[in-house]
Amino acid sequence: MSGIDGLPPLREVIAEHGLRAKKALGQNFLLDLNLTARIARIPGDLSGMDVIEVGPGPGGLTRGLLAEGARKVLAIEKDSRCLPALAQISEAYPNRLEVIEGDALEIDPLAHLTPPIAICANLPYNVGTELLIRWLTPKDWPPFWSSLTLMFQKEVAQRITAAPGDKAYGRLAVLAQWRAEAHIALTLPPEAFSPPPKVHSAVVHLTALPEPRFPADAKILERVVAAGFNQRRKMLRAALKGLTPDIEDRLIAAGIKPTERAEQVPLEAFCALARQFEKA
Ligand code: SAM
């Protein structure tokens, strides 16, 4: 039995339910319940919050979230082999864990939840970035979530939190930091997982800002930033030429040198440029 909840240790759970890790599902499990509790504490006090967890697997992080006091956890898992293990957790925490079997890319969990809502997950690597982009680009802002606490490959975590001039600075950093505060809360070596992945991982914590840091139309900003970073080695006057013939004038009006490259341009200047396009 494990100290935090009287449930068996995760190695036993995995052996009992035959949860041999499948690479195609991005299965790298966390087996240390002290570590999962540590991750569950990153979003802060969960007692008044519903939490969405994508990919609970054998339930290490799920148990951490529940033990740390989450009001309710809604867990979406694609691998039906994990359901009996998750049902045992549900019994240990009556009425606090709901499990939906399915693909997180196709399920809208909102009908099952009451705000405030946090999202906390050790994401499957193959759908992690796509889910993050969806959560960062909802139709309306503020979004349905107050915070995202997400495990990524370290290299992806660096792309989310990078500053202008960093090698990792790009579309993901601008998208994330425009409307959220983002930082790396924890870095983990491969040995923290079973089986160990090839690379280091990191937990990124993002808090939704009540409004964007600088005014801009979301769609226009996304288009300008995507075009700028698509050809990141080119000067902006060349990289953005396809958007409008008078790009040099617009860059200058936004306070950006036409000879600069996207990787040097701060968020505020990208927003100013998006406003120039909106005016036109
Ligand atoms: N949370 C567990 C942990 O920390 O040990 C497992 C994390 S493992 C990195 C990713 C989990 O996501 C696996 O359980 C996998 O089956 C599940 N998964 C993969 N693709 C999924 C999808 N599209 N929707 C929901 N779950 C998915």
Per-residue pLDDT of the chain (280 residues; tens, 9 = 90+): 556 788 999 999 999 999 999 999 999 999 999 999 999 999 999 999 999 999 999 999 999 999 999 999 999 999 999 999 999 999 999 999 999 999 999 999 998 899 999 999 999 988 999 999 999 999 999 999 999 999 999 999 999 999 999 999 999 999 999 999 999 999 999 999 999 999 999 999 999 999 999 999 999 999 999 999 999 899 999 999 999 999 999 999 999 999 999 999 999 999 999 999 998 7
CB 181 within 8 A of CB 123: no
Does ligand 1 have an atom closer than 6 angstroms to the CB of 105?
yes
Q: Where in the chain is the domain with CATH 1.10.8.100?
A: 218-279
52 lines ligand 1 (CB under 6 A): no
Residue by residue, DSSP assigns 244-265 as -TTHHHHHHHTT--TT-BGGG-
pLDDT of residue 4: 73
Residue ranges, CATH 3.40.50.150, the chain: 2-208
Distance CA 42, CA 148 (A): 10
Supply the pLDDT for residue 5: 85
CATH node for 2-208: 3.40.50.150
pLDDT of residue 15: 97
DSSP 3-state assignment of 195?
coil
pLDDT attached to residue 125: 85
Question: How many A from CA of 116 to the centre of ligand 1?
Answer: 23
Does the beta carbon of 62 lie inside 6 Å of ligand 1? no
- Using a 6 Å cutoff on CB, does residue 104 contact ligand 1? yes
Residue identified by tokens 């919050």 is 49
What is the model's pLDDT at position 2?
Answer: 58
User: If one looks up domain 218-279 in CATH, what number appears?
Assistant: 1.10.8.100
pLDDT at 121: 98
pLDDT attached to residue 3:
63
Tokens at 122, concatenated: 């050790």
- Å from CA of 180 to ligand 1 middle: 25
